[in-house]
Structure 1
Amino acid sequence: MLEIVISAPQYPIDLKEGSRMFPAKFCVPQDHEYVEYDYGDLFFEQPCGSATRLVIGPSKGEVDLLTELAALSENQSWYILYVLLTPRQGNRESGRYQSTPFDTLEKLSAFMTSFQSYFEGDARHHVWIGSLSNEVLLIYDQHNVIFAYGPIDRFRAILEKHGFREEEFWFPTPHSHSYAPQYDAEEERLMKEFEWQYFPLQPGDEWE
């Protein structure tokens, strides 16, 4: 069984400044303005409970990378756990929303591609991809970092193929998250995709 331990990072700070609009999902202050933060295609292996995970900081293409890593599951069935932290519409609660299963990689990939701009462009959520066999779990966090649990060596091979460097990093501080109104319609469209199974937020879902 894959042991999953969700641990909060050490230094995240969320700058919430009223209605200020930020230029990207995850930004840092620079020269009196906010700019998109780039991790620089880094990853490192981190102890997590009795196992380890990879912490991955892509420069771009997070959704494509998630799908490629998910394909390493030998049991080709997956689910999405959509962790909505900051609902903007006032018509639903924050919480964990679990999809019905995807029984082919093509269906999972089509779903992820359909919502790629929303997942990569807005910070109101985390997006998890889990295999039903519990051998792979990928957490795409609102800080644009991917936590990968499962076949570490095979994950590493894919990252190295794409030019990622193994080097420890963490979230910059201070930083800001964007909850952009232009993505509100995408939140609504996403919630109509399935009969989502709802669960309350769990400790560690919201990092202060």
Structure 2
Amino acid sequence: MQKLSIKSGDDWVEYSHSPVFSREELPSGSARLVAGVPGGNSVVLFQMLEHMAPPFYLLYLLHTPRGEGVSGRYQSPALSELELKDFLGRFSQFLGMDARHDVWVHSPGSNATVVWDRHNLIYAYGPTARFESALRQIGFTAGSAKVDFVHAHHYRAEYDADSKAVLIYFDWSYSQLRPEDE
């Protein structure tokens, strides 16, 4: 099961990224890394977290609810490394296989943010050299991880209970989605 499918002839087939990343220069003059998440495997995010320091703040963006709650931005309180890893471990399959959400992890102390989006892409801001090294350690190479092709997102009924559990896991601060979240 993957978050995305692509058109192949007349059929839709599941799509998984290759283990590649690229560096992008931003208009601000800073840079970010963009990496695919092969098979929706949370090990990619966990590898990035090794280069970030607590406390962490988690932002769960629910774009496409299936009755479990209201679309919006769910901001966690400050989290220890253990609290964050417990959450990500508990929900790793849901986060990697269902496209109804994006997950942002921010570390003020490291001035770093890692975003795992609904296309199974990771955007890493901050210590990009360390993030690049982390990706290379798990077999990633330079390449394009864009989703610039016709695709379909999957919002899977089998993950509805997990989505509901996410919304009650922390004492989230809620706000509405912003236009740039869409």
TM-score (norm 1): 0.81
Residues 1:177 and 2:153 are matched in the alignment: yes
Task: Please state whether the residue corresponding to 1:168 is helix, strand or coil.
Answer: coil
Residues 1:87 and 2:87 are matched in the alignment: no
Residues 1:52 and 2:31 are matched in the alignment: yes
Alignment of 1:128-139 (within 5 A): 128-133=104-109, 135-139=111-115
Asked whether the equivalents of residues 24 and 35 of structure 1 are also in contact (C-alpha less than 8 Å), the reply is no
Deviation of the 1:134 alpha carbon: 5.9
**1:9 match:** none
User: Once structures 1 and 2 are overlaid, which stretch shifts more, 63-72 or 173-182?
Assistant: 63-72
Residues 1:111 and 2:87 are matched in the alignment: yes
**1:196 match:** 172
Deviation string, structure 1 residues 154-208 (Cα, Å, up to 9, x no partner)? 11111111111112341041100001111111111111111110111122211xx
Q: State the identity %.
A: 33
Residues 1:34 and 2:12 are matched in the alignment: yes
How many Å separate the matches in 2 of 1:126 and 1:177? 13
- RMSD over equivalenced CA pairs, Å: 1.6
More helix by share: 2
Task: Please state whether the residue corresponding to 1:34 is helix, strand or coil.
Answer: strand
TM-score (norm 2): 0.92
Size of the aligned set, in residue pairs, is: 181
How many Å separate the matches in 1 of 2:78 and 2:11? 42
Structure 2 portions without partners, runs of 5+: none
Deviation of the 1:120 alpha carbon: 0.6
How many Å separate the matches in 2 of 1:194 and 1:158? 29
User: Once structures 1 and 2 are overlaid, which stretch shifts more, 177-186 or 58-67?
Assistant: 58-67
